[in-house]
């Protein structure tokens, strides 16, 4: 499961981003980071989640936070998803699930009686010093982003 606990420093990682760069978590030291993991671009629930983060983005910026989404999809898939839904934040491609495994969100899932490995929808709030401040696992999309905004305001 997760090797990172609330209050601990989050290990640095580097992944390819939707803007063609390589992004490291350490690039954002001094800012709060909302890191959300989702299963797949352009699927109904993941689209709802991304659009909720998009719509709440100004409130998160006001809290001196950045939003970063991570899924196993490719950079090319992320580029199309961002263009289609006008997402104002980066999406990172974790095609080898290394960061998903680091956060304990790459797990055995079941759908229609079939078992497979996939991302369990989760969000992590990292403080300006790089420590894990809050986590939400097995997220239900409805109302979730509002919880994240409230946590940012408290941080």
Q: What is the pLDDT along the chain (155 residues), one digit of tens a residue?
A: 457 889 999 999 999 999 999 999 999 999 999 999 999 999 999 999 999 999 999 999 999 999 999 999 999 999 999 999 999 999 999 999 999 999 999 999 988 899 999 999 999 999 999 999 999 999 999 999 999 999 999 98
Tokens of 148: 């994240």
**Structural domain boundaries of the chain?**
14-154
**51 noted as active-site residue:** no
From 46, 51, 63, 100, active-site residue:
46
- Residue 46 backbone class (left: φ over 0; alpha: ψ -120 to 50; beta: rest): alpha
pTM: 0.94
* Superfamily the domain 14-154 falls into: Glutaredoxin (3.40.30.10)
Q: Is 88 left (phi over 0), alpha (psi -120 to 50) or beta?
A: alpha
């Amino acid at each position: 499961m997760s090797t990172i606990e609330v209050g601990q420093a989050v290990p640095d990682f580097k992944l390819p981003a939707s803007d063609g760069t390589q992004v490291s978590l350490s690039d954002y030291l001094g800012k709060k980071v909302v890191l959300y993991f989702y299963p797949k671009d352009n699927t109904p629930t993941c689209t709802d989640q991304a659009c909720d983060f998009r719509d709440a983005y100004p409130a998160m910026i006001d809290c001196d936070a950045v939003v970063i989404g991570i899924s196993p999809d490719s950079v090319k898939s992320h580029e199309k998803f961002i263009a289609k839904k006008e997402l104002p934040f980066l999406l990172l491609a974790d095609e080898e699930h290394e960061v998903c495994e680091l956060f304990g969100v790459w797990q055995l899932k079941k759908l229609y009686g079939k078992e497979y490995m996939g991302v369990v929808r989760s969000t992590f709030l990292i403080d300006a010093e790089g420590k894990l401040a809050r986590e939400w696992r097995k997220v239900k999309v409805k109302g979730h982003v509002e919880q994240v905004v409230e946590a940012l305001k408290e941080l």
